[in-house]
Amino acid sequence: MTDSRTVARRYLTGALAAILALTSIAAAAPETAHADPTTRKFTVVNIDYEGSKIWVPATLVVEQGDTVQIKLINNVPTDPNQHGFSIPAFNVNAVVTRGTPETVEFVANKEGVHDIACHLHPAHVAGQLIVLDD
């Protein structure tokens, strides 16, 4: 005969076994919430929009720890023939001459929203590098 305490003990033992089983499944499952660091490649072009210069795309999104490779193309036909691509947070300071693409590479090891600007002509429309917390 089983009294209520025995039933309760059996129930709790079963529940504990289920929790342990679920925990071990969770521990064995591959991590999906955070991607492994990878190399993110972008091509960004300088354009002239009604007299304003802007690097397009203006917003780049990566995850913390990623290696970021950005090919920079300046084919704006008007002078000056050089524009800057600067991300001060990562000491990126490229000068891109019309017709001569440049590539910058760095590790995005600081999360947050970081300014992108032309350090030669501060009147440009600025952009952002968004580094997501990993």
* Chain contacts with Cu ion (rule: CB under 5 A): 83, 118, 120-121
Give whichever of 92 and 118 is closer to Cu ion, judged by the CB atom.
118
Give 125's DSSP letter: B
Taking a C-beta distance cutoff of 8 angstroms, is the pair 129, 114 a contact?
yes
Structure tokens at 38: 């990878």
Q: Is 119 helix (H, G, I), strand (E, B) or coil?
A: coil
Minimum distance from residue 29 beta carbon to Cu ion (Å): 48
Taking a C-beta distance cutoff of 8 angstroms, is the pair 96, 82 a contact?
yes
Minimum distance from residue 106 beta carbon to Cu ion (Å): 20
Minimum distance from residue 84 beta carbon to Cu ion (Å): 5
Give whichever of 41 and 121 is closer to Cu ion, judged by the CB atom.
121
DSSP lists the bridge partners of residue 47 as: 54
Give whichever of 23 and 97 is closer to Cu ion, judged by the CB atom.
97
Q: Choose among 111, 102, 36, 114: nearest CA to 69.
A: 102
CA 129 from chain center: how many Å?
8
Minimum distance from residue 126 beta carbon to Cu ion (Å): 11
Give whichever of 47 and 120 is closer to Cu ion, judged by the CB atom.
120
